[in-house]
Amino acid sequence: MQKKQHKSNLNFPKNFLWGVATSAHQIEGNSDNNDWSLKALKKHSQNIKWAKNAQEKIPDAKQACQSWEKYKEDVELAKNLNCNLYRFSVEWSKIEPECGKFDQKAIEHYRDQIKQAKKANMQIMLTLHHFTNPIWFSQKKGWEKRSSLKYYLRFVKKIINEYENQVDYWITLNEPFGWTSCAYFMGIWPPFKKNYLLGYHVFNNLALAHKRAYKLIHKYYRNKGLQKPKVGFVNDLQSYSNYRKHSLLEQLKVYFIYNFSNHSFIKKSGKKYHDFFGVNYYYEMRVNKKTGMKMEQTFNAKDENRQLTDMEWLIYPRGIFDVLYDLNDYGKPFIIAENGIATKKDELRIRFIEEHLEEIYYAIKAGIDVRGYCYWSLLDNYEWAEGYRPKFGLVKVDLKTGKRTPKDSYKFYAKIIQDNGLYWNY
């Protein structure tokens, strides 16, 4: 049969936000004062049962992508992608290196970053907490204590005071569930504790921290007579499914894990304390008979012998539609705050972006209010415990010189943004 050539445009709504996302510790360098710094990792070693020394498992970020110096270049790269949204985080340990002492230089640094991005016609989505904690905060037992809230809120207050209406979208916390799981349920991230009860307590503190930060930011804007702010958090949404549709046991496992991971933070922090939902979506987790309720046992994608990402994650574009559809019952707008793939094969990244955007397009068609999309990540960056091996970036970075080289996927994404949608050439 002769193949008919046609172009059908999957047009995204007018004013759709197209962006890229980054986080401070993963790209900046000079982060030697938080719980992921070399200094802290050495100290952590005693907590880790599975490694004599934390550095054996957790590579040091070193100078990362040198974005502390090269932030203007990064803004330029986002601008040349045609982005109208830029998501990045402020590094708490740089802004407040000692408890209660703020570093004006660091504050000015981020002020300029915001200014540059605004000048390039991008809206700002600012993450206040992206996995790292200042060492002084960890020494006070961090989020394990209720007192963590007063330190976090003091920091939030300082930031809104400084940048107030320059920020378009405030993100209180990045992936509270994912972070708690790695840090306290699985114990593979600082502070490397494997304690479910303590983790649950930490999770509750994070939910309360979100709610209070939400109220604080809204109150600040109200008192100053500013237009209402947009405050949310970023939820790590996973699609879960069971292999055996006939098995009640597997279905129950999916039910519990799914609700705990995707819904519990919203419920705990209170549905009304969210102006929008930030969504990170990467993969699907499969549950089978052998899968216990322990987090790490849900990762069994390797058994399927499919094409996985370099993180060994199962690629499942349809899952982004499913989680959006499910969470739509809360009636909030969504912004995809992260979606991306670790791969050395850039053509796979292109396919990944295309297929996930297609699902988002159909979610919008189904009446779901998705307002924006950020690809994770602009640069090949420091991928936490995995170091520099996984390549998520649209731009390659030479870690020695800091030289940035856009990949084909960068050009591909730039074209999508320019067209405000996808053109199919078949």
- The contact set with ligand BGC (CB under 6 A) reads 23, 26, 174-175, 178, 236, 280, 338, 376, 383
Q: For residues 304 and 315, give the distance between their C-alpha atoms in angstroms, rounded to a whole number.
A: 12
Q: How many CB atoms lie within 10 A of CB 301?
A: 20
Nearer to ligand BGC, 151 or 376 (CB): 376
Nearer to ligand BGC, 134 or 178 (CB): 178
Nearer to ligand BGC, 133 or 242 (CB): 133
Nearer to ligand BGC, 284 or 338 (CB): 338
Q: For residues 231 and 42, give the distance between their C-alpha atoms in angstroms, rounded to a whole number.
A: 36
Minimum distance between the CB of residue 340 and ligand BGC, rounded to whole angstroms?
7
Nearer to ligand BGC, 174 or 239 (CB): 174
Minimum distance between the CB of residue 320 and ligand BGC, rounded to whole angstroms?
14
Q: Pseudo-torsion of CA 38, 44, 191, 386, nearest 10°?
A: 50
Nearer to ligand BGC, 144 or 236 (CB): 236
Minimum distance between the CB of residue 63 and ligand BGC, rounded to whole angstroms?
18
Minimum distance between the CB of residue 376 and ligand BGC, rounded to whole angstroms?
6
Q: For residues 276 and 230, give the distance between their C-alpha atoms in angstroms, rounded to a whole number.
A: 7
Q: For residues 224 and 264, give the distance between their C-alpha atoms in angstroms, rounded to a whole number.
A: 33
Minimum distance between the CB of residue 341 and ligand BGC, rounded to whole angstroms?
9
Minimum distance between the CB of residue 313 and ligand BGC, rounded to whole angstroms?
9
